[in-house]
Amino acid sequence: MINNTTQLKKEKTLQKKIEYVDVVNDADDIVGTVSWDEMFAKKLIHRTAAVLLFNSHGEIYVHKRCDHLKQYPGKYDIKFGGAVQSAESYEAAARRELFEEAHVLATALIPLFKLQTRSAENNANRMMFKLVYDGKIILDETEATDGKFMKIIDVEKLISSGKLSPSGIDVFRKFKEMKFN
Protein backbone atom coordinates (compact mmCIF):
# COMPACT_ATOMS: atom_id res chain seq x y z
CA MET A 1 0.00 0.00 0.00
CA ILE A 2 1.31 3.46 -0.93
CA ASN A 3 1.15 5.98 1.90
CA ASN A 4 -0.18 9.49 1.40
CA THR A 5 3.27 11.09 1.69
CA THR A 6 4.66 8.94 -1.13
CA GLN A 7 1.64 9.69 -3.32
CA LEU A 8 1.93 13.44 -2.67
CA LYS A 9 5.64 13.38 -3.58
CA LYS A 10 4.81 11.61 -6.86
CA GLU A 11 2.07 14.13 -7.65
CA LYS A 12 4.39 17.08 -6.90
CA THR A 13 7.06 15.58 -9.15
CA LEU A 14 4.52 15.26 -11.96
CA GLN A 15 3.29 18.80 -11.39
CA LYS A 16 6.81 20.20 -11.63
CA LYS A 17 7.17 18.70 -15.09
CA ILE A 18 4.12 20.54 -16.42
CA GLU A 19 5.24 23.70 -18.18
CA TYR A 20 2.82 26.62 -18.10
CA VAL A 21 2.74 29.37 -20.71
CA ASP A 22 0.87 32.64 -20.98
CA VAL A 23 -1.74 32.89 -23.70
CA VAL A 24 -1.52 36.29 -25.37
CA ASN A 25 -3.33 38.34 -27.99
CA ASP A 26 -1.93 40.03 -31.09
CA ALA A 27 -0.82 43.02 -28.97
CA ASP A 28 1.10 40.57 -26.72
CA ASP A 29 -1.19 41.21 -23.73
CA ILE A 30 -1.63 38.20 -21.44
CA VAL A 31 -5.17 36.83 -21.62
CA GLY A 32 -4.68 33.56 -19.73
CA THR A 33 -2.32 30.80 -18.62
CA VAL A 34 -2.44 27.17 -19.74
CA SER A 35 -0.18 24.15 -19.86
CA TRP A 36 2.19 23.85 -22.81
CA ASP A 37 0.28 20.74 -23.92
CA GLU A 38 -3.05 22.60 -23.99
CA MET A 39 -1.49 25.55 -25.83
CA PHE A 40 -0.01 23.20 -28.43
CA ALA A 41 -3.21 21.14 -28.85
CA LYS A 42 -5.41 24.23 -29.27
CA LYS A 43 -2.79 26.23 -31.22
CA LEU A 44 -3.23 29.20 -28.88
CA ILE A 45 -1.22 32.38 -29.34
CA HIS A 46 1.71 32.33 -26.93
CA ARG A 47 5.15 33.89 -26.51
CA THR A 48 8.34 32.33 -27.78
CA ALA A 49 11.94 33.47 -27.62
CA ALA A 50 14.79 32.36 -29.82
CA VAL A 51 18.44 33.05 -30.54
CA LEU A 52 20.30 33.23 -33.83
CA LEU A 53 23.80 32.00 -33.08
CA PHE A 54 26.57 33.47 -35.23
CA ASN A 55 30.31 32.94 -35.16
CA SER A 56 32.79 35.80 -35.59
CA HIS A 57 32.98 35.04 -39.34
CA GLY A 58 29.29 35.94 -39.80
CA GLU A 59 28.16 32.35 -40.28
CA ILE A 60 24.91 31.18 -38.69
CA TYR A 61 24.56 27.94 -36.76
CA VAL A 62 22.15 25.48 -38.37
CA HIS A 63 20.98 22.30 -36.67
CA LYS A 64 18.73 19.40 -37.64
CA ARG A 65 15.67 18.87 -35.46
CA CYS A 66 15.09 15.37 -34.12
CA ASP A 67 12.53 13.21 -35.89
CA HIS A 68 10.41 12.73 -32.75
CA LEU A 69 9.70 16.44 -32.11
CA LYS A 70 6.09 17.62 -32.36
CA GLN A 71 6.89 20.62 -34.51
CA TYR A 72 8.85 20.34 -37.76
CA PRO A 73 10.47 16.94 -37.11
CA GLY A 74 13.58 16.26 -39.19
CA LYS A 75 13.74 19.82 -40.54
CA TYR A 76 16.76 22.08 -40.22
CA ASP A 77 16.52 25.19 -38.08
CA ILE A 78 18.54 28.37 -37.63
CA LYS A 79 17.36 29.27 -34.17
CA PHE A 80 17.51 27.91 -30.65
CA GLY A 81 14.39 28.67 -28.70
CA GLY A 82 10.98 27.75 -27.46
CA ALA A 83 8.01 28.80 -25.43
CA VAL A 84 8.33 31.53 -22.84
CA GLN A 85 7.13 30.08 -19.55
CA SER A 86 4.43 31.88 -17.60
CA ALA A 87 5.81 35.02 -15.91
CA GLU A 88 9.21 34.58 -17.64
CA SER A 89 10.72 37.38 -19.71
CA TYR A 90 11.59 36.95 -23.38
CA GLU A 91 15.30 37.36 -22.63
CA ALA A 92 15.28 34.89 -19.74
CA ALA A 93 13.52 32.34 -21.95
CA ALA A 94 16.03 32.88 -24.76
CA ARG A 95 18.94 32.32 -22.37
CA ARG A 96 17.30 29.23 -20.86
CA GLU A 97 16.46 27.68 -24.23
CA LEU A 98 19.93 28.34 -25.66
CA PHE A 99 21.51 26.63 -22.67
CA GLU A 100 19.05 23.71 -22.74
CA GLU A 101 19.44 23.08 -26.46
CA ALA A 102 23.10 23.95 -27.12
CA HIS A 103 24.76 24.24 -23.68
CA VAL A 104 25.75 27.82 -24.47
CA LEU A 105 25.70 30.42 -21.70
CA ALA A 106 24.58 33.65 -23.30
CA THR A 107 26.46 36.63 -21.92
CA ALA A 108 25.44 39.36 -24.36
CA LEU A 109 22.19 38.72 -26.21
CA ILE A 110 21.34 41.37 -28.76
CA PRO A 111 17.59 41.95 -29.27
CA LEU A 112 16.76 41.82 -32.98
CA PHE A 113 13.02 41.91 -33.66
CA LYS A 114 9.58 40.62 -32.79
CA LEU A 115 7.75 38.43 -35.26
CA GLN A 116 4.19 37.14 -35.22
CA THR A 117 3.64 33.65 -36.58
CA ARG A 118 0.11 32.57 -37.41
CA SER A 119 -0.38 29.17 -39.02
CA ALA A 120 -2.16 25.86 -38.63
CA GLU A 121 0.89 24.52 -36.75
CA ASN A 122 1.96 27.47 -34.63
CA ASN A 123 0.61 30.76 -33.32
CA ALA A 124 3.30 32.72 -31.55
CA ASN A 125 4.59 36.16 -30.76
CA ARG A 126 8.33 35.54 -31.06
CA MET A 127 11.18 37.72 -29.82
CA MET A 128 14.44 37.10 -31.63
CA PHE A 129 17.90 37.66 -30.22
CA LYS A 130 21.39 37.35 -31.66
CA LEU A 131 24.57 36.03 -30.06
CA VAL A 132 28.06 35.98 -31.54
CA TYR A 133 29.81 32.92 -30.15
CA ASP A 134 32.94 30.99 -31.09
CA GLY A 135 32.92 28.50 -28.24
CA LYS A 136 31.92 24.87 -27.99
CA ILE A 137 28.36 23.87 -28.84
CA ILE A 138 26.97 20.67 -27.34
CA LEU A 139 23.57 19.91 -28.82
CA ASP A 140 20.91 18.33 -26.62
CA GLU A 141 20.39 14.98 -28.37
CA THR A 142 16.67 15.06 -27.54
CA GLU A 143 16.33 18.27 -29.60
CA ALA A 144 18.83 18.08 -32.47
CA THR A 145 20.92 15.45 -34.23
CA ASP A 146 23.70 17.55 -35.71
CA GLY A 147 24.65 21.09 -36.61
CA LYS A 148 27.29 23.41 -37.96
CA PHE A 149 27.96 27.03 -38.84
CA MET A 150 26.92 27.87 -42.40
CA LYS A 151 27.19 30.82 -44.76
CA ILE A 152 23.99 32.76 -45.42
CA ILE A 153 23.93 31.53 -49.03
CA ASP A 154 23.91 27.93 -47.78
CA VAL A 155 20.90 28.66 -45.59
CA GLU A 156 19.15 30.01 -48.69
CA LYS A 157 19.88 26.66 -50.39
CA LEU A 158 18.22 24.84 -47.47
CA ILE A 159 15.14 27.01 -47.98
CA SER A 160 15.09 26.30 -51.72
CA SER A 161 15.31 22.57 -51.10
CA GLY A 162 12.45 22.62 -48.56
CA LYS A 163 14.66 21.43 -45.70
CA LEU A 164 14.42 24.46 -43.37
CA SER A 165 11.55 24.60 -40.86
CA PRO A 166 8.71 27.00 -41.72
CA SER A 167 9.41 29.06 -38.59
CA GLY A 168 13.11 29.13 -39.50
CA ILE A 169 12.19 30.47 -42.93
CA ASP A 170 10.05 33.24 -41.40
CA VAL A 171 12.85 34.25 -39.04
CA PHE A 172 15.50 34.13 -41.77
CA ARG A 173 13.45 36.33 -44.12
CA LYS A 174 12.77 38.88 -41.39
CA PHE A 175 16.45 38.90 -40.41
CA LYS A 176 17.56 39.50 -44.02
CA GLU A 177 14.92 42.23 -44.44
CA MET A 178 16.11 43.92 -41.26
CA LYS A 179 19.79 43.50 -42.09
CA PHE A 180 19.54 45.02 -45.55
CA ASN A 181 17.09 47.86 -44.87
Q: Assess whether pLDDT exceeds 90 at residue 179.
A: no
> What is the per-residue pLDDT for 128?
97
> Are 178 and 113 within 8 A, CB to CB?
yes
Mean pLDDT value across the chain:
90
pTM: 0.86
> Are 135 and 104 within 8 A, CB to CB?
yes
Which DSSP string do the residues of the chain spell out, in sequence order? ---HHHHHHHHHHHHHH--EEEEE-TT--EEEEEEHHHHHHHT--EEEEEEEEE-TTS-EEEEEEPTT-SSSTT-EESEEEEEPBTT--HHHHHHHHHHHHH----SS-EEEEEEEEESSS-EEEEEEEEEE--S-----TTTEEEEEEE-HHHHHHHHHTT-B-HHHHHHHHHHHHHHH-
- Give the pLDDT band (50/70/90) at residue 16: low
> Are 159 and 71 within 8 A, CB to CB?
no
- Give the pLDDT band (50/70/90) at residue 5: very low
> What is the per-residue pLDDT for 3?
47
Q: Assess whether pLDDT exceeds 50 at residue 150.
A: yes
Reply yes or no on domain 18-180 having CATH 3.40.50.2300: no
> What is the per-residue pLDDT for 173?
94
> Which residues on adjacent β-strands are paired with residue 124?
46, 117
